[in-house]
Every structure is written in C-alpha cells, then in structure tokens.
C-alpha cells in the first residue's frame, strides 16, 4: 500500500487535507503536529473516517518531544505524550505509529552515552505500551546529523535491542549516511514501515523520487520480502503524487 506524509500538511485543517489525500492515496500517515495533533483531532476524524476509503498511520510529534532528554521531567513528559498519542490513535485503527529516537544535547558535549541510556529507557516503556495496546510502534532511522540518535544501522539496532519494537526504515535518511544496504541487511526483518524520498546524499532534502541519487531500484529489490506500507514523505502534495506515480512503476 502506498501512502503519503508531509510536515507541510499539518499547517492546514485536517478535514481539507483528508479530502485531498483520499483522492490520490490509499494511506495517510498523519504527522501529529500543529493542526494535526492527533489527540485533538482523533474524535472528529474517527467520525469522518468511514466516509473515506483510506487507511491511517501516525508519525509522532518531533518538535517538542525528545525521548532522549537528560532532563528527566522532559523525558517523562515526552513519553507520556506518546502514550496519550497511542491511546488516541486506537480510535483510528492505525497500522503503525512511527517515533524518532531523540536528540543529543545541542549545547553540552560528551553526553552521548547518557542520551542513549535515556532513549533506551523511554523505548522500553513504549515497548510495554505497544504490547498492552496491541499497536505497532516503529523507531525511525535518522539522517546524518550529529545531534540525532539512530543514524547508523548499529546505532538503531542498539537502541531497540531487547524490545519487540519495529523499525521505520527511511530510505532517504539512510542515503545521507551512505548505508541503505546496511540497514536492510541488519534490521530488515524488523521493518514495519518504509519512508521514501530522494536526496543527493548529503542533506535530507525530501526530493521527488528520481531527483537525487538514491538507488531505489536496488533498495526495493532488497526489500522484496517486505509486505508493509510504503509512505512517500514529500515537501508538498503535488510532489507526493509525482513520487507515487514513479514508485508505482518500480513496484
């Protein structure tokens, strides 16, 4: 199933975005920020959903959430917000909830190990919540930015070790670290969601498929046993439709 997600959608009324997405896609991965904060819209969306032939997944908030925070109150608040998100998402029968593994301190150096420990603590809580509510939670690999956790295959594997958490494999992010194959080889059996967008290998540009240097043909061939959703992460709606048409030809 091919879906769509875009941070830009969250600036607009979800009713309007729902109408447009349902015309072109089978699945909408709701980015839970701003106008689309799931806890605020889940009630009305649950009422409207039966009128549309559309499935849903959710991308957890990232702007005010950091499950790797070394401020314990902030870390706990982030986890509690994600638990609230899970509870609200249940009304929408979502397939997966994708979360980021958190960020290191932007101002204090040499705290990486403590941040990783904080993230692991948070992820183990989410692992228990996933089992309790019966909903898939996927941890996403991050682009090649020094302040982000989970950039390489081994870093992400270390974060989810000892849990049943799934992986959201972001092909574009993996391209910025130059290791698409490494992620598939090490973690492919845990993939429950896949994000697609293009870039030129340096910056997380979210280009239309084919505008960068991601070898989607090779990646999709290695993903031949994957049976989950493919979510186009785009800058805007027209480019999402363009990428969808290209992806259809590849699958």
Taking a C-beta distance cutoff of 8 angstroms, is the pair 136, 97 a contact? yes
Note the pLDDT tens digit of each residue in 156-170.
Answer: 999 999 999 999 999
Write out 140-206 in H/E/C secondary structure.
ECCCCCCCECCCCHHHHHHHHCCCCCEEEEEHHHHHHCCCHHHHHHHHHHHEEEEEECECCCCCCCC
The confidence band for 38, taking pLDDT boundaries of 50, 70 and 90, is very high
Three-state SS at 138: strand
**Average pLDDT estimate for 185-213:** 98
Q: What are phi and psi of 65, to 5 degrees?
A: -125, 130
Q: Is the pLDDT of residue 195 over 90?
A: yes
- Quote the pTM value: 0.97
The CATH number that domain 2-250 falls under is 3.20.20.150
* Torsions phi, psi for 207 (to 5 deg): -85, 165
Query: What is the average per-residue pLDDT within 82-106?
Result: 95
With residue 57 as reference, give the H or E element that holds it.
Answer: strand 55-59
Cα dist. 248→18, 218, 232, 243 in Å? 22, 15, 11, 9
Task: Summarize pLDDT for 61-81 with one digit per residue, the tens.
Answer: 999 999 999 999 999 999 999
What mean pLDDT, rounded, does the chain reach? 97
pLDDT at 106 over 90: no
- The residues near 233 (Cβ < 8 Å, ≥ 6 apart) are 5, 6, 170, 172, 195, 196, 197, 206
Model confidence band, residue 107 (pLDDT cutoffs 50, 70, 90): confident
- The number of CA neighbours under 13 Å toward the Cβ of 164 is 9
The stretch 47-63 carries a mean pLDDT of 96
Total residues found in the chain within this entry? 251
The pLDDT, as a whole number, for residue 55 is: 97
Mean of the pLDDT values across residues 122-131? 98
To 10 degrees, the CA torsion angle through 205, 154, 224, 251?
0
Q: Report the distance separating Cα 117 and Cα 36, nearest Å.
A: 30
Q: How far apart are CA 47 and CA 76, in angstroms?
A: 31
């Amino acid at each position: 199933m091919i879906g769509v997600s875009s941070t830009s959608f969250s600036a607009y009324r979800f009713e309007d975005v729902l109408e447009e997405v349902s015309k072109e896609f089978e699945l909408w991965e709701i980015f839970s920020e701003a106008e689309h904060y799931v806890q605020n819209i889940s009630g009305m969306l649950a009422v409207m959903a039966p009128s549309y032939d559309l499935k849903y997944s959710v991308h957890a908030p990232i702007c005010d959430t950091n499950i790797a925070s070394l401020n314990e109150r902030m870390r706990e608040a982030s986890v509690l917000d994600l638990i609230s998100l899970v509870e609200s998402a249940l009304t929408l029968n979502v397939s997966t909830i994708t979360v980021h593994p958190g960020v290191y301190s932007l101002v204090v150096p040499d705290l990486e190990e403590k941040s990783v420990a904080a993230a692991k603590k948070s992820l183990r809580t989410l692992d228990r919540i996933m089992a309790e509510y019966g909903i898939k939670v996927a941890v996403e690999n991050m682009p090649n930015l020094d302040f982000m956790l989970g950039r390489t295959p081994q870093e992400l594997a270390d974060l989810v070790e000892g849990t049943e958490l799934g992986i959201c494999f972001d092909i574009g992010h993996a391209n910025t670290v130059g290791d698409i194959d490494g992620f598939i080889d090490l973690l492919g059996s845990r993939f429950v969601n896949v994000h697609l967008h293009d870039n030129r290998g340096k910056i997380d540009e979210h280009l239309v498929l084919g505008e960068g240097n991601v070898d989607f043909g090779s990646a999709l061939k290695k993903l031949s046993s994957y049976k989950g959703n493919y979510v186009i992460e785009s800058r805007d709606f027209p480019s999402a439709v363009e990428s969808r048409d290209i992806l259809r030809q590849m699958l």
